[in-house]
Amino acid sequence: MNTEYLMGEGSSAQRSVLPNGIRVITETMPALESETVGIWVDSGSRDEAQPAAGSTHFLEHMLFKGTPTRSARQIAEAFDRTGGDSNAVTSKEYTCYYSRCLVDDVPMITELLWDMVLRSKLDESEFERERGVIVEELAMAADDPVDVLYEAFDALVYRDHPLGRPVGATREQIRALEHSTLLDHYSHDYVGPRLVFAAAGGASHDEVVSLVDRATRQLPEVGPDSGRQLRPHRAVPEFAGGVETIRKDTEQQGIIFGVPGLPEGHPDRFVLTVLFALLGGGMSSRLFQTIREERGLAYTVHSIAGRYTDSGQFGIYAGTSPGSAQQVVDLVIDEFALVASEVPGEAEIADIVAQVAGATILGLESSAARMNRLAHAELSRIPLESPHDLLQQVRNVTPEHVTKLAARLFSGPHALATVGPSTSLVLPG
């Protein structure tokens, strides 16, 4: 078994690869009595073939429905008994099953998670019952104008690319999904080299590795390069501009204006973080002050960003009255254009850098945040940086860096998605 330190010799983050190809990544936080653990699958909705649309999210539901030794109720009771937080999430590039618990409960939770992930029964009658649950979940999302807006924006900018599809697919696709397709997905994706176990908290690396090894010995040994060979080819998307309008009888008009962003691991990602905060990252941000405080046009206005292994998006979300919507769009674009053409003042960027630096360190006091960053770095195949290095990267950002990046992003395609009563919004110019 190969073990290495991830942030230099003697660091608190370590990585081991078991003979079955499972990667175990931990960060020890000695003062904590708790631990956040998660099994991450290197597979998301963008990896689905069209006939299998929705199978990644459907499978996430099914793994809570029982194993040969545990019923669905027993799984739920075991999680609840710890008093912590347990759940699962499906994204466009990965699936995760996680739990936060006391260090004393880590052995039980680790065995429980692996029992679910490796020995799920995937019973066909449960599959049919859960089909109805997922259709209702999608119906609930369809009633939420914010969910509809974000899905409309992705569909607009990624068009026919898999990143443009909803993670959970459509209700029609779920109704058509076959049980055999789900089984094929499970057997192909839930294999050693595509599985990562990430943990952060009071437990030691050796203890966690031993627990994972004991729980996964049923898997066959694999070669060291199998993980890279097993991920399917992912076609790189192109960001498309334009306007997508969905009419919905709501009190507010939801708006997303966006431009191409940066992929995970891009060298300018820290500059983007500062730009994010400058335009819409808090109460003192330019757009919050301009749109909410000075003009009273919106309750909520903030930056958004999506990062994938090979692409990204950056933009602004706002909710406003239909009659003010075009004015808000114009103000967003004017402010973005200003940052792209005029270098901000040193004092303004210094304040933003201090804000981002503080948020970075405060965020790392959470075991869940540390577990997430361990897994994201592993799945994205980018180096894990120490808190000191993260701070230094943020503090190295200058006003000129911000304007240069803003100009580059703003020069790309512009996209506008909107949901609400108004159907007349346009992109200026």
- Whether the predicted pLDDT of 416 surpasses 90: yes
Identify whether residues 311 and 211 lie together within a single domain: no
The pLDDT tens digits of the residues spanning 324-343 come to 999 999 999 999 999 999 99
Angle between helices 124-142 and 179-189 (to 10 degrees): 90
Q: β-strand 13-17 against 2-5: which pairing, if any? A: antiparallel
Q: Phi and psi (nearest 5°) for 274?
A: -70, -45
Query: Is residue 353 domain-resident?
Result: yes
Identify whether residues 224 and 246 lie together within a single domain: no
Query: Is residue 425 domain-resident?
Result: no
The pLDDT tens digits of the residues spanning 357-376 come to 999 899 888 999 999 999 99
The confidence band for 105, taking pLDDT boundaries of 50, 70 and 90, is very high
Among 230, 260, 280, identify where a domain stops: 230
CATH code of the domain in which 189 resides? 3.30.830.10
Q: How many domains does the chain have?
A: 2
pLDDT of residue 229: 52
Write 137-142 long-range contacts (CB < 8 A, 24+).
Answer: 137/168, 138/166, 138/168, 138/169, 138/170, 138/171, 138/174, 139/171, 141/168, 142/171
DSSP 80-99: HHTTSEEEEEE-SS-EEEEE
Count of helix runs (H) and strand runs (E) in the chain: 16, 12
Contact residues for 140 (Cβ-Cβ < 8 A; gap 6+):
none
Query: Is residue 236 domain-resident?
Result: no
The pLDDT tens digits of the residues spanning 196-218 come to 999 999 999 999 999 999 999 98
Mean pLDDT along residues 143-172: 96
Identify whether residues 150 and 44 lie together within a single domain: yes
DSSP 97-123: EEEEEEGGGHHHHHHHHHHHHHH----
Identify whether residues 220 and 295 lie together within a single domain: no
Identify whether residues 172 and 79 lie together within a single domain: yes
Mean pLDDT along residues 114-140: 97
- Whether the predicted pLDDT of 230 surpasses 90: no
Q: How many CB atoms within 10 Å of residue 247?
A: 11
Q: Is-contact 300 293, C-beta < 8 A?
A: no
Q: For the chain, what percent of residues have pLDDT higher than 90? A: 88
Cα distances (Å, whole numbers) of residue 195 to 14, 167, 226:
16, 20, 11
Active site residues: 60
The pLDDT tens digits of the residues spanning 21-37 come to 999 999 999 989 999 99
Identify whether residues 215 and 363 lie together within a single domain: no
- Each residue of 312-346: b (16+ CB within 10 Å) or e? bbbbbbbbbbbebbbebbebbbebbeebbeeebee
User: 242 has which bridge partners?
Assistant: 415
Mean residue pLDDT across the chain:
94
Among 206, 230, 254, identify where a domain stops: 230
Full-model pTM: 0.94
For residue 178 the two structure tokens come to: 């076959």
Q: Is-contact 152 419, C-beta < 8 A?
A: yes
Identify whether residues 75 and 173 lie together within a single domain: yes
Query: Is residue 429 domain-resident?
Result: no
Domain hosting 50: range is 2-230
